[in-house]
Structure 1
Amino acid sequence: MIPLSVLDLAPIIEGATAADAFRNTLDLAQHAERWGYNRFWLAEHHNMPGIASAATAVVIGHVAGGTQRIRVGSGGIMLPNHAPLMVAEQFGTLASLYPGRIDLGLGRAPGTDQRTSRALRRDMMGTADSFPQDVLELQFYFREAVPNQAVRAVPGAGLNVPLWLLGSSLFSAELAARLGLPFAFASHFAPDLMMDALRVYRSGFQPSEQLSRPYAMLGLNVFAAETDAEAKRLMTSVQLQFINLRRGRPGPLQPPVDSIEAIWSPLEQMGVESALACSVVGSPGTVRRGVEAFIERTGADELITTAQIYDHAARLRSFEILASVTR
């Protein structure tokens, strides 16, 4: 089997707080390390009542400080929200504290709505259009500083923190290929262009100092339980989350329900099932077969798996089952 990793959104469940979410995130990371997962990534989202990882670099430090070996990083930092120098300093600090364990995944989406983007940035000068230039600037800050360099990242210069480009379209696939960077595709919530993006990335890849051959990591929802029926029930929490987002009512992660059919309309069902098409749901045997089929279809070099499960013990068990059936 190829390497398996974890993408965690530090979910805030109904009736709980962000503090609870952070405790659960660290607990999951510690278990994932023992179960042999390769990396543990957190994602930047803002103004989302059900997601606690807005200050992503801070939470990465929390997780890295509570683990020993697993790589910890961002999936991702939304670069248009930040000055590249600030990102270089933050991740230079993390790489200095936890050498050899920090990844920096970069996205070009805002990670929120336009009103919140404006509140984050104060102006909209930094946009997705400047993403390629911002990536190059960030790479510059991580290189060894040259004599008389006016602006340098301290810490950061000379650390060569591994960069990843993230995306759900062809743009980042093409840019990752041109810059010779590893590429992570958000197939766990936007799968439509996955195969086209892989083709663009692999066919256009140009080797770089960081990477000699293309390396693609794909997002996959995995809901594992003792039975297929229980796994399908666990998945209804994320289905409810997507329904509420589409209705303009984002909120904390809700408990699972016995029947989602009574809640969503046919149009909502079509949209949610399309968004979550890259999902493996079921008992241990079903999960193993589903993961193997996904790898065979895509040729992924690594999978980054996520599971928005309401009950923390059930979420741990889901990741434990996945690890056990793919060894």
Structure 2
Amino acid sequence: MSNHTPYSFLDLAIIGEDKSTTDTLYNVLKVAQHAEQRGFSRLWLAEHHNMPHIASSATSVLIGYIAGGTSSIRVGSGGIMLPNHPPLVIAEQFGTLEALYPNRIDLGLGRAPGTDQATALALRRNDFNAANYFPQQIEELKRFFQVNEGAKVRSFPGEGCDIPMWILGSSTDSAYLAAELGLPYAFASHFAPDHLLQAANIYRKNFVPSSQLDKPYFMPCVNVIVADTNEQADILATSFYKMFLGIIRNDRKPLQKPCESMEGNWTDYEEYVVRQKTFFSYIGNKEKVTIELRELFNAVEIDEIMITTPVYELSNRLKSIELFSELIQDM
């Protein structure tokens, strides 16, 4: 770890209680603008569907909105769930984004549907096997970005674009695929912590250089909530814990306002499960988060770190982003 390690942000566009979709999307732009000012390299948005409290289903549209409201930060998908879409459509969408915002667009690709099975089938037109062809879909997408005058079907815009592609994952399968394709690899340790170390090792050990990348590039995503005091950070984190508790209980709600303590809000078993699912979370003041992040960097070889900060109030999210940028630059 050095103070030259890039740092980036994942915005899940979570709608809070008493907040509208419009409020949420405006706040995503404010976060992006603040992150740009604080030296973040990129801001990514994730594709989710049939989730009433997530506002990023039209991911490509939202990327354009954020890129249009910023000037230098890279904006991209974390990620596009490629089996949900014809590769030609994604090539055209991201080709258009690249034409509008040159050298600022990232294309992170995932295999999972980003939703429930019924919605996945609606998106994939009842194609039960779409996810099985993820590697082939990636190759098809890559061909649409290449200049191929002899092809009967071509992507305009899109053809000839040099858009960095990433593989996203939360398991070892994605590590093998990213290594085989020679693409940068982003790991979702903010909600799937179990295989982080193994996936990172598999990726580096099996990496094959490609035209895009000559050596491995690994970026885990972790949860970070920084405040002036540990006590303030713990209070802010109650919204985050309630969000995961709702997932466990299958009782999803808008992001809840923070409370003084989680005591009485979960059982011992529920607390155990939530903390296991959020193992790579760094919550506290600058000193505490710095110490804990150093432990992560000592355990995993990281080329770039991405954070997500699911707190209720925008002002607290912006303050956390500011404090994180200060501590990461000082590490």
Counterpart-to-counterpart distance in 1, 2:214 and 2:13: 33
Shift of 1:149: 0.9
| 1:98 and 2:101 correspond | yes
The answer on whether the counterparts of 1:216 and 1:302 sit within 8 Å (CA) in structure 2 is: yes
2:76 maps to which of 73, 76, 96: 73
Other-structure match for 2:120: 117
Q: Could you tell me which of 9, 34, 54 is aligned with 1:6?
A: 9
Give distance in 2, aligned partners of 1:59 and 1:295.
32
| TM-score, normalisation: structure 1 | 0.98
- Distance in 2 (alpha carbons) for counterparts of 1:318 and 1:255: 16
Identity of aligned residues (%): 49
Greater CA drift, 212-221 or 116-125: 116-125
In the alignment, the residues of structure 2 paired with residue 287 and residue 259 of structure 1 have an alpha-carbon distance, to the nearest angstrom, of: 20
Q: In the TM superposition, what whole-angstrom CA distance separates every residue of 1:26-66 from its partner, at most 9, and x where no partner exists?
A: 00000100000000000011122221111000000000000
Letter in 1 for 2:85: H
Q: In 2, distance between residues paired with 1:144 and 1:187?
A: 36
CA deviation after TM superposition for structure 1 residue 296, in Å: 1.7
Paired letter, 1:264: W
Provide the C-alpha distance between the structure 2 equivalents of 1:318 and 1:238, rounded to a whole number of angstroms: 14
Distance 1:182 1:255 in 2: 36
- Tell me what 2:186 maps to: 184
Distance across 1 between alignment mates of 2:229 and 2:9: 22
Contact 1:81/1:126 (8 A) holds in 2? no
Deviations 1:280-321 (A, max 9, x none): 110111122222221121111100100100011000000100
Match of 1:300 in 2: 302
Question: Take 2:269 and 2:132, find their aligned partners in 1: how far apart are those partners?
Answer: 33
SS of the residue 1:310 aligns to: coil
Equivalent in the alignment of 1:27: 30
TM-score normalized by structure 2?
Answer: 0.97
Instruction: Give the alignment's Cα RMSD to 1 decimal.
Output: 1.0
Deviates more, 1:58-67 or 1:249-258: 249-258
- The amino acid that maps onto 2:253 is G
Counterpart of 2:175 in structure 1 is 173
One-letter amino acid matched to 1:135: I
Tell me the equivalent position of 2:249: 247
Local SS of the residue matching 1:326? helix
Greater CA drift, 18-27 or 260-269: 260-269
Could you give the per-residue CA deviations for residues 126-157 of structure 1, whole angstroms, max 9, x where no partner exists?
52211111111111111112x32101111001
- C-alpha separation in 2, matches of 1:89 and 1:70: 22
Report how many aligned residue pairs link the two structures: 326
* Residues 124/266 of structure 1: CA separation in 2 closer, same or farther (3 Å cut): farther
Q: Is the 8 A contact 2:88 2:144 kept in 1?
A: yes
Find out whether 1:216 has 2:218 as its counterpart: yes
Amino acid at match of 2:114: G
Aligned-residue offset at 1:122: 2.4
Higher mean C-alpha deviation, range 234-243 or range 94-103: 234-243
> Aligned partners of 1:23, 1:70: CA distance in 2, in Å?
17
How far the C-alpha of 1:119 sits from its partner, in A, is 2.3
